[in-house]
Chains A and B, each alone.
Chain A
Amino acid sequence: MRYTAKVMGLDEDIEEAVLLSIDGIVLNCFASVCPYQLQIGAEYHVQLHTTIFNGCDIAPVDDGESHAAVNYIDAFSYVFVGLLSKGRLIADRIILDDAVLLDFESFEGSTVRFKVDRLDVWFLED
């Protein structure tokens, strides 16, 4: 999914760490593809990608939990909670269209909790 993101901050130690604001949601992302110099406050076209290290952690949520949320865990790790529809996870204003979601057709139409080990961002060249 293609977004327009505003660079909120850059990490001094970790060059790839970027704080982005996408439709008002602030995400700490890992800039794995970034062919040009970034400026704080500037807006760029980006794509979000998920990286999972040890097995996919996806499960339907209980009724009691809040729906459609992006919860930060640590580093670049997030938990997305949202509706799974046609291989897409709609979590608040963020839509993830990872190929792995196609494997969970059984959860189609239900709210799921999807843990991402690293949220990657690709800065696109127009």
Chain B
Amino acid sequence: MMGYSFTAYRWFRRLCAVWLLLLAPGLIVPELVGFGAVAEAKPAREARPRETRPREARQETRPAREARRIERGSGTRSEAKRERLRERQSARTETRRESFRERGRFSDRGFARTERRQERQRLRTEQRRFNTDRSSDRRMLTRERRAAQPSRSFSINRAGRIERISNNNSSRNKLGKNVIRSGSAAASRNRLNFGNSSTLASHFQKHGKEFGAATAKAYLKVGRDIARTGYKVRYNYKGERRTGYIAFMGNSSRGEAKFGFVGTNRQGVITTIHTKNGADAWKMLNGNQRDKNIRIAR
């Protein structure tokens, strides 16, 4: 082992000596070993003369740059190259197609499949475009139809039946003039109000505690909630056929049914918001306190 290492070491020393003999003169005089190009020191770059043109003139525009490139010849060369590439590509595609055709059925099927796929895609796109147009047309048509027809508001009552709230969009105000109403029945019920603020205040004073309302506004809100969620009913009051809203509130401490009631007059103004026990409600609505049915008005 030792002998082998020693021999290797000797050979290594010899190689190093040879390398030094061959390369050392080259390092000192590079021309001797052909490293002249590498070792040759680059001549110092001459300092460019300072640009004296104004900044605007120095910033040449893109067309100017293009023109200069064409003039130089590089642009035309690249264009020609590109053109050649295109031609080569199209020739290759054509050759491929030809070869596919020559190969017969398989390639035909492949092309046919591609064509069919493209056709399907085109049809889908057309269909989508048509659908979009049609739906927008339909929307437009619906809008026009609605504008032409008198508005009809429907709502689903708590019994699950569809009821019509109004079949025209006009009503009379307090002065007896026609007033155009708009919006859904629920929205109109949310706008229900007393004739004036003093009426609301006096009603709140007398009935507010029935609902535990702290303010007149809260009292009115209760009434509107009853109108929105309750049953629409007709009843006779002071010789008039009126519209009211009744909603079941629960049972009283005595076990009697307790209802919230909102009465309105012909002008659609709230005349009262108060609670009623069952007997009261049946008597007022049906004229008989034993007739415990609520007949929903349409």
Point out the residues of chain B lying under 8 angstroms from A125, CB to CB. 287
Q: For window 33-86 of chain A, which residues contact chain B by CB distance below 8 Å? A: 33-38, 49, 51-56, 75-76
Cα separation A51 to B151 with both chains bound (whole Å): 42
Type the 1/0 row for A87-118, where 1 means its CB is closer than 8 Å to any CB of B: 00000000000011000000000000000011
For residue A90, give the distance in angstroms from its CB to the closest CB of chain B: 21
In this complex, what residue of B is CB-closest to A54?
Answer: B253
Complex contact A52–B276 (CB within 8 A) = no
Known: A37-B238, A56-B253. A51 touches B275 (CB 8 A): yes
> If the complex has contacts A15-B271, A122-B283, are A35 and B210 also in contact, measured as CB distance less than 8 A?
no
Q: Is B280 an interface residue (CB 8 A)?
A: yes
- When distances are taken between beta carbons in the complex, the residues of chain A under 8 Å from B199 are 13-14
User: Nearest-CB distance from A56 to chain B (Å)?
Assistant: 7
Take A35-B239, A38-B238 as given contacts and tell me if A49 and B279 are in contact as well, using a CB distance cutoff of 8 Å: yes
Count of chain A residues with Cβ under 8 Å from any Cβ of B? 30
- CB B267 to nearest CB in A, in angstroms, measures 13
Complex-state Cα separation, A100 to B276, whole angstroms: 16
* Max count, chain A CB within 10 A of own CB: residue among B275, B283, B287: B283
Annotate B260-298 by CB proximity to A: 1 below 8 A, 0 otherwise: 000000000001101111011001100100000000000
Q: Does A32 reach chain B (CB closer than 8 Å)?
A: yes
Chain B residues near A51 (CB, 8 Å)?
A: 275, 277, 280
Query: Taking CB as reference atom, which chain B residue is nearest A103?
Result: B254
Report the bound CA distance from A53 to B206 in whole Å: 13
A20, CB-defined interface residue at 8 Å? no
Q: Please state if A32 and B276 are interface contacts (CB–CB under 8 Å).
A: yes
Bound: A65/B238 CA distance, A: 40
- Please name 27 pairs of A and B residues whose Cβ atoms are closer than 8 Å in the assembled complex, sorted by A: A11-B202, A13-B198, A13-B203, A14-B199, A14-B203, A14-B206, A15-B271, A16-B274, A30-B274, A32-B274, A32-B276, A32-B284, A33-B280, A35-B236, A35-B237, A36-B238, A37-B238, A51-B280, A52-B253, A53-B209, A53-B210, A55-B253, A56-B253, A75-B205, A75-B206, A117-B210, A118-B210
What is the interface of chain A, defined by CB distance below 8 A to chain B? 11, 13-17, 30, 32-38, 49, 51-56, 75-76, 99-100, 117-118, 120, 122, 125
What are the nearest 3 A-B pairs in CB distance?
A: A37-B239, A13-B202, A75-B206
> Taking beta carbons and an 8 Å cutoff, which residues of B are in contact with A?
198-199, 202-203, 205-207, 209-210, 236-239, 252-254, 271-272, 274-277, 279-280, 283-284, 287
